[in-house]
Amino acid sequence: MLDPHLLGQEGERLAADYLSKKGYRILVRNYRYHRNEIDIVARHKKTLCFIEVKTRSSREKGHPVEAVTITKQREIIKAAKAFLAFSGELESDCRFDVVTVLAECEGENLITSFFIEHYIDAFWADY
């Protein structure tokens, strides 16, 4: 089984590649504001997208999208507000997406296959 940290990093790379092929322009990866993080900030057409990536090697603990709890959503929203303020993008149309990666692993460091799902407008921010 792949180390969970390495699995997460590889899942984020796969998600960024997937989004790029779908026409998203990746602006920032792993944007941090204090202890909060956004995995991917991307632009799709005129919309600024804040994207959380969840990678799992099995559904043993549930589907990966279920890990984006209300608490996690609030942390992402805090970081997104900071990103908007610091980048001068306060007037941008924004949305929050989730990309899940279910990976089949062989050994300790090899993903043999994966399945990606993209949840557009997965959650909303209360302003």
Give 36-79 pLDDT, tens digit per residue: 999 999 999 999 999 999 999 888 888 999 999 999 999 999 99
pLDDT at 126: 74
In 3D space, the residue among 37, 48, 36 whose CA is nearest the CA of residue 87 turns out to be: 48
Banded pLDDT at 7 (limits 50, 70, 90): confident
Domains identified in the chain and CATH numbers: 4-123 (3.40.1350.10)
pLDDT of residue 1: 56
**pLDDT at residue 111, as a whole number:** 75
3-state secondary structure 40-70: EEEEECCEEEEEEEEEECCCCCCCHHHHCCH
Percent pLDDT > 70 in the chain is 94
Closest Cα to residue 40, out of 107, 114, 120, 96?
96
Q: Please give the mean pLDDT across all residues of the chain.
A: 91
Residues in the chain: 127
Q: Give the tens place of pLDDT for each residue, 63-120.
A: 999 999 999 999 999 999 999 999 988 778 999 999 999 988 776 666 788 999 999 9
3-state class (DSSP) for residue 109: coil
The predicted model scores a pTM of 0.92
- Burial class of residue 93, CB neighbours in 10 A (0-12, 13-18, 19+): exposed
